[in-house]
Amino acid sequence: MSDTVGIVTRANRTSRQFLAVVAVASAAIFYVDDWIAGIAIVVLWMAWKYAKDDTGLPVLAMALTFQWVQVTSGMWYHAATGRPLKTMVVSDYRPMMLIGLGCVASLVFGLRAGLSWIQRTRHGKVHASQVAMPIGWTGLVFMYVAALGLQGTMGQLAYQFPDFTQAILTFKFLHLALLFLILRRLSRPKPQWHLIAAIMALEILLGITGFFAGYREPIVMAIIALFEVFNPRRVQQWIGVTVIGFARHGLGYLKLFVPAGNDKMVQVWKSVGFSPVALAPTDILTALQTGMVDAYPITPLVALSLQWFRQTPNMTGIGMAPLVGALIVSKQAWNKIPEPDRAKILASCRSLGQRLETAVPPQDSIAVIEMQKRGLTVNAVPPAAAAEWRAMANQLAAAMRGSMIPTEFLEIVERERDAYRKKVAGGTR
């Protein structure tokens, strides 16, 4: 009798889930006025239904949800505000959304098949907390210290071999993996808070001093490790998670966007006290929406055109630096150009530069006015803060001297800058 009742209960629960998904998908189609919204809801439900297990945090489902948000956020934004993104206007975005949702669904099916296979094997029947790692504490700590110590060296080595830069930089993730394994061991069966605090203090110290490590990623590893054994009835665990969460969101400066692919520039920003987040420019909007990034240096014209200012409604009332562009031609290619044509190219470039120098600043001013009409606040910078801003700019230049910018070139630029400032009666542009 009990078995029969259990089967009926599970069937009823499945039917209710199916009806709920159909109802939500139908509501989404009606709200967005696009049947793709219904497919998106179904794919999200599949991720949480089939890509999770009972061994801790639903990491796989959370990762798939992040990918789902990247694919569908523009559609929800358009439905909520009535303002289409530029990508939706200039391209046929709907097939790309379907491809993205298909990729997420494929990952769900693949992960589900893998989880099912693991559960059918002998090892898959063992609970995760009972699985012992085939490496002792000595070996684990040794590998962690080695990975930690080689972070800076690998970062420098990566850019000496451009063809292997990204492959070498992935070595940095080994440090986080080893840190997670150590924190996971320290959390079982009972969290050893003094040791966890000591290792996290080391990671945070290295991160906020700009040595080589970002402190937010280690904190995320600690949160995941602790949540695997989190007991909501124990006050000590609530206190520990709260402290770690505060450190995750409360330490350091704003999370500043920097272009991905230049690890040296990331270290330069860290050296002056910032918390840089290296991303591709195409990921900025999603990063702003998810809180991954809080600030970014950009021209007003770009901020208005791409609508980034809606996620960051505050702007400093002082310019950071002029955005300079150049046409770069190798010496070998330049020598192949006939002398008369070289003169024409240089004249054309000078003419274009003069036109841009005249036309762009007014466009930036108009862009600021338009953004202010839409909610942007331009914060005035008092003289004392402006002086700190200039000092920080000098620190950035000093950090790049010799390593990223040839010393003699930087000296020429500084000499010309100083001459210009004297010419305009002590200006600071």
Statement to judge: residues 376 and 390 lie in one domain? no
Per-residue pLDDT tens, the chain, 429 aa: give them. 444 444 445 556 667 888 888 999 999 999 989 999 999 999 999 988 888 765 556 777 888 888 898 888 889 988 988 888 777 777 778 888 898 899 889 988 888 888 777 677 655 444 444 444 557 778 888 888 888 777 767 766 665 666 666 666 667 677 888 888 888 888 777 778 788 888 888 877 776 654 444 566 777 777 777 766 655 566 655 565 565 555 555 444 567 888 877 777 877 777 777 778 887 777 788 777 766 778 888 888 888 888 888 888 888 888 776 777 788 888 888 888 998 888 898 899 888 888 888 888 888 889 889 888 888 888 888 887 788 878 878 888 888 888 778 888 888 888 888 888 788 765 555
**What is the residue range of 420's domain?**
385-429
Q: Model pTM?
A: 0.46
Statement to judge: residues 71 and 161 lie in one domain? no
Phi, psi of 377 (to 5 degrees): -110, 120
pLDDT of residue 39: 93
Statement to judge: residues 8 and 117 lie in one domain? yes
Q: How big is the CA angle at 44 (ends 42 and 47), to the nearest 5 degrees?
A: 110
Statement to judge: residues 319 and 334 lie in one domain? yes
Q: Which residues pair with 378 in a beta bridge?
A: 315
Statement to judge: residues 355 and 400 lie in one domain? no
- Cα(first)–Cα(last) distance of the chain, in Å? 84
296 lies in some domain: no
Asked if 95 and 71 count as a contact pair (C-beta separation under 8 A), the reply is no
* Alpha carbon distance 255, 207 (integer Å): 13
Statement to judge: residues 332 and 425 lie in one domain? no
Number of domains in the chain: 4
267 lies in some domain: no
Statement to judge: residues 63 and 159 lie in one domain? no
Statement to judge: residues 234 and 202 lie in one domain? yes
Statement to judge: residues 362 and 401 lie in one domain? no
* Alpha carbon distance 8, 13 (integer Å): 9
pLDDT of residue 162: 61
287 lies in some domain: no
71 lies in some domain: yes
Statement to judge: residues 393 and 366 lie in one domain? no
pLDDT of residue 164: 67
Q: How big is the CA angle at 199 (ends 198 and 203), to the nearest 5 degrees?
A: 120
363 lies in some domain: yes
Asked if 46 and 108 count as a contact pair (C-beta separation under 8 A), the reply is yes
Statement to judge: residues 345 and 245 lie in one domain? no
257 lies in some domain: no
321 lies in some domain: yes
Q: Which residues pair with 257 in a beta bridge?
A: 277
Statement to judge: residues 83 and 116 lie in one domain? yes
